[in-house]
Amino acid sequence: MADDTPEHPANAKLIASKQQWARDGRLLTGAAAPRAQRLPPGQREVRNWPVLDLGVQPQVPADRWELRIDGLVEHPTTWNWADFRRQPPFQDVSDIHCVTSWSRYDNHWEGVSARHILEVVRPLPEARHVIFHSYDGYTTNVALPVFDDADVLLAHGWEGEPITTDHGGPVRVIIPKFYFWKSAKWVNRIEFVAEDRPGFWEERGYHNEGDPWTEQRYS
């Protein structure tokens, strides 16, 4: 998988461009808004679902997909596709807010809830953060309470169809209340840790938390 990591030269121009956005504070309005305001500051509503990635789209057939859930947990778990689909089904409707300024309303998701995952693996008391790892080498981080929310899931379906490869299929993370770079595509590992560990974009000038309503775009 070495040629599929985010450091591959084919991605250098894209990555440099997004890092420049962070240095320039692009799209920042300086405003904040309550969550009751559906559209966060600096966002615009779109009807399509734009495709954004690091220039690499791993081809992972469902029968070869695997998810490891480990770290500071009582019950480390590995699921293949059949195992994953045997978990209690979960459906949710939520909005997407991308740091590149678009938002898409009322996305219908199907998958496995984060709270079910927490019940299965049972994080240890010292676990405070969650690190997502992806097949393209991407990582991103959230605090454990962010993952432990009623609308967070690992999704395999969108609008009644399987999530396509370009949108992170066969399985991606969905964390609706935060900018969408936190919702890792092509997820293959969920790691519970005590100390926070900034991920790919967090190390490149993007905010460690990423709340759209307080415009936490950049660090």
Predicted confidence (pLDDT) at residue 5 exceeds the cutoff of 50 = no
Predicted confidence (pLDDT) at residue 183 exceeds the cutoff of 80 = yes
Pairing of strands 102-113, 44-45: parallel
Q: Which residues contact 156 (CB under 8 A, 6 or more apart)?
A: 84, 85, 110, 111, 162, 163, 169, 170, 171
* DSSP conformation class of 181: G
pLDDT of residue 11: 80
Classified as helix, coil or strand, 158 is strand
As a whole number of angstroms, the distance between CA 173 and CA 190 comes to 10
pLDDT of residue 55: 84
Give one DSSP letter per residue of 104-115, joined into a string.
EEEEEEEEEEHH
- In terms of CATH architecture, what is 2-48+58-214? Alpha-Beta Complex (3.90)
| Mean pLDDT confidence for 199-218 | 98
Mean pLDDT of the chain: 95
Nearest to 6 by CA among 185, 207, 151, 131: 185
pLDDT in tens, 103-155: 999 999 999 999 999 999 999 999 999 999 999 999 999 999 999 999 999 99
pTM: 0.94
* DSSP conformation class of 73: B
As a whole number of angstroms, the distance between CA 185 and CA 57 comes to 9
